[in-house]
């Protein structure tokens, strides 16, 4: 499916006399994507219909459905009349654990809490991320300078989020989606499939940093997250707990470090 469409709109401009003109606008597509594990539909996400296999793997890992990419044996995307189904064949032990959870999670394009089955799930008990390498402030600034050039769909539509993996200031890969959680899951799925070493860089996101974005990064062993917008208080507490360097209000000229400043080299 296409990631965007062209739609005729009427633009109104005020001035000495109001002006109205018809013109073409570009809109991002938003599609229902069902993740089906071993023949059983588990969750429906509202997502941009691109890189869906990466989305499915990243979601499976960041939500703890899988513990490693090798537990995914096969994946197939099938269009349907109401959206797209992504069929995953996973290890029997992981499928049994998934059925035992009996979670009915809702789509994650919005709040990130939809569908959890207890208040205990709001703040997960994450193990500390292993850290062996600091990140440099200059690498953050370099990546931010190049961020817009990698956000192709955002530049067309203005309505999607981006999540990028950065090494030595270079954006290795960026994924876009109408949902910020989806964009991050696409990136995490790509990294897992490529066996990317999470010690070699950091995640850069074009959105705010919610607690769930931090939790997803922690599940993949990523030690640093930089967000263009603000973090929430819960995200900061979770980053402190997990050993993650969390950065907010990231701009090429300046940014704010909210946790684990000791893993950032100010060079």
Half-sphere exposure (CA, 13 Å, Cβ side) for 215?
19
Q: Could you tell me the CA-to-CA distances from 239 to 74, 158, 181 in Å, in that order?
A: 33, 29, 17
Count of helix runs (H) and strand runs (E) in the chain = 7, 14
Q: Are 178 and 28 in contact (CB under 8 A)?
A: yes
Which residue's structure tokens are 């490529």?
194
Q: Determine the 3-state secondary structure of 162 from DSSP.
A: strand
Measured in whole angstroms, the distance separating CA 87 from the mean position of its chain's CA atoms is 20
Measured in whole angstroms, the distance separating CA 133 from the mean position of its chain's CA atoms is 23
Catalytic residue among 10, 81, 111, 114: 111
Q: How far apart are CA 57 and CA 85, in angstroms?
A: 14
Cβ neighbours, 10 Å, residue 56: 27
Q: Are 175 and 162 in contact (CB under 8 A)?
A: yes
Active-site residue flag, 10? no
Assign residue 224 a region: left if phi > 0, alpha if psi is -120 to 50, beta otherwise?
A: beta
Q: Where are the beta strands (DSSP E) in 14-151?
A: 19-28, 31-37, 40-47, 72-80, 83-90, 135-136
Q: Are 217 and 196 in contact (CB under 8 A)?
A: no
Q: Which residues are catalytic?
A: 111
């Amino acid at each position: 499916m296409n990631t965007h469409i062209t739609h005729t709109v009427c633009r109104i401009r005020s001035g000495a006399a109001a002006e109205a003109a018809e013109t073409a606008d570009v809109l991002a597509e938003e599609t229902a994507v069902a993740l089906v594990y071993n023949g059983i539909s588990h969750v429906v996400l509202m997502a941009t219909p691109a890189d869906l296999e990466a989305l499915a793997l990243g979601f499976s890992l960041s939500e703890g459905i899988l513990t490693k990419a090798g537990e995914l044996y096969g994946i197939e995307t099938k269009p349907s009349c109401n959206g797209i189904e992504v069929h995953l064949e996973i290890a029997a032990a992981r499928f049994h654990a998934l059925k035992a959870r009996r979670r009915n999670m809702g789509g994650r394009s919005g709040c990130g809490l939809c569908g959890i089955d207890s208040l205990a799930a709001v703040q997960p008990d994450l193990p500390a991320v292993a850290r062996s390498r600091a990140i440099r402030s200059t690498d953050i600034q370099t990546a931010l300078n190049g961020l817009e050039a990698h956000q192709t769909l955002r530049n067309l539509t203005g309505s999607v989020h981006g999540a990028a993996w950065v090494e030595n200031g270079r954006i290795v890969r960026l994924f876009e989606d109408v949902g910020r959680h989806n964009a991050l899951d696409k990136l995490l799925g790509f990294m897992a499939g490529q066996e990317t070493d999470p010690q070699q860089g950091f995640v850069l996101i074009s959105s705010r940093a919610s607690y769930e974005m931090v939790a997803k990064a922690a599940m993949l062993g990523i030690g640093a997250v930089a967000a263009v917008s603000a973090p929430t208080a819960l995200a900061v507490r979770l980053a402190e707990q997990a050993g993650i360097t969390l950065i907010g209000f990231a701009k090429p000229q300046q940014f704010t470090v909210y946790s684990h400043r000791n893993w950032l080299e100010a060079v």
